[in-house]
């Protein structure tokens, strides 16, 4: 008997994949695997009900802790892509690993997903799966299916779906972010109503301040109370979301070259990233901060590609870990006007002296203010020299008189 494991959500795409894997690919049995990375309970209920209606063996894997740990790694790397925190991109390798483990435990010979050939997720899933000996199958991509065809096929087969994707939009939710795309949102000029948002309220005039604690770059406490990663993220999503924090409307460049419009909600991610960067600003030297921007950018790109286990990432994290040894302390965040703004920071490792920076002190330690005169004289010397040479050359050039007809005499 041949068996294939399917990444299963209970939506339209993965539901139509079940009979297609049997009819078109000849598999005797399909098993569904749903991985919990922080989706709402309603999605698991939908998956369970659909699997039962399809008489599908269904496995649910709890991977919230693993995903939260990766999210916190992304905080240390200040990971964003084109202005928004990585969410779906980071979840996909975690989901793929969990599905692969089930597939191998259940003696599957194939592993499948319901991604199209236009998106990023096909690449992120398969980057993990192609390390195995299992046949990798993508029915929607390989058969060139459209949403309209899938709906007609589902109706013909009397499959238990209502059109998929939870309504007009395609929504992907996990602990770290909620993405919304499709339908009218595909028009870049369309201004969406507030109904597309679920995690964030409209910003009001109300404000609130909290204190976030970090240890070696990892968030560990809120207002002095320690939290495990999953609980901390969930708490901040609710709190920061109530102040309208963490909305992004983005024209995103996908890995295949397509430009798409995405709307995101990420209250906790925005809050933690802002706080972490503020703390790094206090404790890291100028050179470390400048160079770490390059490291963070590379980490973020690999994270977006779903390649967080690449050798390069391991090397990057070596540098990140070294810098994060001093990123321990607290940051005060103020929620106001839809923003999470750092308004205070404190650390025993601060590369800062209030006494030295103060306008009320005459010296900087043993350095007198007048010692800066020589530095000021040298500052910009090459610029002045280069500009003077250029000016001299332009003055030496002969003037050219023009004839009345516009030509040179």
CATH number at residue 27: 3.40.50.620
The yes-or-no verdict on residue 233 having pLDDT over 90 is yes
pLDDT at 344: 98
Q: What is the mean pLDDT of residues 328-334?
A: 98
The yes-or-no verdict on residue 402 having pLDDT over 60 is no
Q: Output the CA torsion sign for 76, 81, 84, 88.
A: negative
**CB-CB contact of 180 with 156 (8 Å):** no
How does residue 89 score in pLDDT terms, banded at 50, 70 and 90?
Answer: very high
Q: Catalytic residue among 73, 76, 92, 165, which?
A: 92
How many CB atoms within 10 Å of residue 338?
Answer: 17
The yes-or-no verdict on residue 404 having pLDDT over 80 is no
Q: Catalytic residue among 74, 165, 170, 300, which?
A: 170
Q: Is 124 annotated to bind ligand? A: yes
Q: Is 77 annotated to bind ligand? A: no
Q: Catalytic residue among 73, 121, 172, 296, which?
A: 121
The yes-or-no verdict on residue 17 having pLDDT over 60 is yes
Residues 214 and 304 in one domain: yes
The yes-or-no verdict on residue 143 having pLDDT over 80 is yes
Residues 195 and 263 in one domain: yes
pLDDT at 400: 58
How does residue 82 score in pLDDT terms, banded at 50, 70 and 90?
Answer: very high
Residue 230 domain-assigned? yes
Strand 29-36 relative to strand 3-7: parallel, antiparallel, unpaired? parallel
- At which of 314, 346, 378 does a domain end? 346
**Average per-residue pLDDT in the chain?**
92
Residues 298 and 208 in one domain: yes
Better pLDDT: 359 or 160? 160
- At which of 325, 346, 367 does a domain end? 346
Strand partners, 59: 33
> By C-alpha distance, which of 394, 175, 392, 387 is closest to 266?
175
pLDDT at 161: 80
pLDDT at 361: 74
Q: Is 9 annotated to bind ligand? A: yes
Strand partners, 299: none
C-alpha 327/C-alpha 233 separation (Å) is: 19
13 is catalytic: yes
Q: Is 193 annotated to bind ligand? A: no
- At which of 327, 346, 365 does a domain end? 346
The yes-or-no verdict on residue 313 having pLDDT over 60 is yes
Q: Is 8 annotated to bind ligand? A: yes
Q: Is 13 annotated to bind ligand? A: yes
Eight-class DSSP state of 402? B
Eight-class DSSP state of 369? G
Q: What is the mean pLDDT of residues 353-365?
A: 70
Q: Is 116 annotated to bind ligand? A: yes
Better pLDDT: 339 or 168? 339
Strand partners, 371: none
Strand partners, 218: 215
Rounded percentage of the chain residues whose pLDDT exceeds 70: 92
C-alpha 151/C-alpha 183 separation (Å) is: 15
Residues 118 and 163 in one domain: yes
How many CB atoms within 10 Å of residue 297?
Answer: 15
Eight-class DSSP state of 175? S
The yes-or-no verdict on residue 327 having pLDDT over 90 is yes
pLDDT at 369: 83
pLDDT at 353: 72
Q: Into how many domains does the chain fold? A: 2
Residues 336 and 196 in one domain: yes
Residues 264-275 pLDDT 10s:
999 999 999 999
Q: Is 177 annotated to bind ligand? A: no
Better pLDDT: 199 or 402? 199
Residues 161-199 pLDDT 10s:
864 444 567 889 999 999 998 888 889 999 998 999 999
Residue 371 domain-assigned? no
Residues 23 and 147 in one domain: yes
C-alpha 146/C-alpha 273 separation (Å) is: 38
Q: What is the CATH number of the domain that holds 228?
A: 3.90.1260.10
The yes-or-no verdict on residue 41 having pLDDT over 90 is yes
The yes-or-no verdict on residue 409 having pLDDT over 60 is no
How does residue 337 score in pLDDT terms, banded at 50, 70 and 90?
Answer: very high
Residues 153 and 251 in one domain: no
Q: Which domain holds residue 92?
A: 3-168
C-alpha 196/C-alpha 193 separation (Å) is: 6
Q: Is 163 annotated to bind ligand? A: no
Better pLDDT: 337 or 371? 337
Residue at token pair 């050039």: 397
121 is catalytic: yes
pLDDT at 134: 97
Q: What is the mean pLDDT of residues 142-160?
A: 92
Q: Is 243 annotated to bind ligand? A: no
Which stretch of DSSP H or E encloses residue 72? helix 64-76
Residues 92 and 227 in one domain: no
How does residue 396 score in pLDDT terms, banded at 50, 70 and 90?
Answer: low
C-alpha 18/C-alpha 237 separation (Å) is: 35
pTM above 0.85, yes or no: yes
pLDDT at 399: 62
The yes-or-no verdict on residue 395 having pLDDT over 70 is no
Strand 247-253 relative to strand 259-265: parallel, antiparallel, unpaired? antiparallel
Q: Is 123 annotated to bind ligand? A: no
C-alpha 170/C-alpha 217 separation (Å) is: 34
Residues 39 and 83 in one domain: yes
């Amino acid at each position: 008997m041949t068996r294939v494991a399917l990444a299963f959500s209970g939506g339209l795409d993965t539901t139509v994949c079940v009979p297609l894997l049997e009819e078109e690919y000849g598999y005797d049995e399909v098993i569904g695997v749903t991985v919990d990375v922080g989706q709402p309970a309603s999605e698991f209920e939908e998956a369970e009900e659909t699997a039962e209606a399809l008489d599908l063996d269904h496995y649910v894997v709890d991977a919230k802790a693993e995903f939260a740990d990766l999210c916190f790694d992304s905080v240390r790397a200040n990971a964003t892509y084109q202005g928004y925190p990585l969410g779906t991109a980071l979840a996909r390798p975690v989901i793929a690993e969990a599905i692969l483990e089930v597939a191998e435990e259940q003696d599957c010979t194939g592993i499948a997903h319901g991604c199209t050939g236009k998106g990023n997720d096909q690449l992120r899933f398969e980057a993990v799966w192609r390390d195995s000996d299992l046949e990798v199958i993508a029915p929607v991509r390989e058969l060139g299916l459209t949403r309209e065809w899938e709906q007609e096929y589902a109706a013909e087969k009397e499959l238990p779906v209502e059109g998929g994707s939870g309504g007009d939009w395609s929504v992907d939710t996990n602990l770290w972010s909620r993405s919304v795309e499709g339908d009218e949102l595909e028009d870049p000029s369309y201004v969406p109503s507030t109904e597309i948002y679920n995690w964030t309220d409209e910003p009001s005039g109300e404000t609130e301040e909290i204190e976030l604690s970090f240890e070696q770059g990892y968030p560990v406490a809120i207002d002095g109370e320690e939290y495990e990663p999953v609980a901390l993220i969930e708490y901040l999503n609710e709190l920061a979301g109530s102040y309208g924090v963490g909305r992004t409307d983005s024209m995103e460049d996908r890995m295949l070259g397509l430009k798409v419009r995405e709307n995101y909600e990420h209250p906790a991610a925005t809050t933690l990233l802002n706080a972490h960067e503020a703390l790094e600003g206090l404790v890291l030297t100028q050179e470390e901060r400048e160079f770490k921007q390059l490291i963070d950018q590379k980490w973020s790109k690999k994270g977006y590609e779903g390649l967080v286990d690449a050798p390069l990432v391991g090397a990057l994290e070596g540098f990140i870990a070294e810098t994060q040894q001093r990123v321990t302390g607290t940051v005060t965040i103020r929620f106001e006007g839809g923003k999470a703004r750092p308004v205070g920071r404190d650390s025993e490792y601060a590369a800062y002296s209030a006494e030295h920076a103060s306008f009320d002190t005459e010296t900087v330690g043993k350095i007198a203010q007048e010692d800066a005169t020589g530095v000021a004289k040298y500052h910009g010397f090459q610029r002045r020299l280069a500009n003077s040479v250029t000016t001299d050359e332009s003055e030496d050039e002969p003037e050219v008189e023009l004839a009345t007809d516009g030509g040179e005499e």
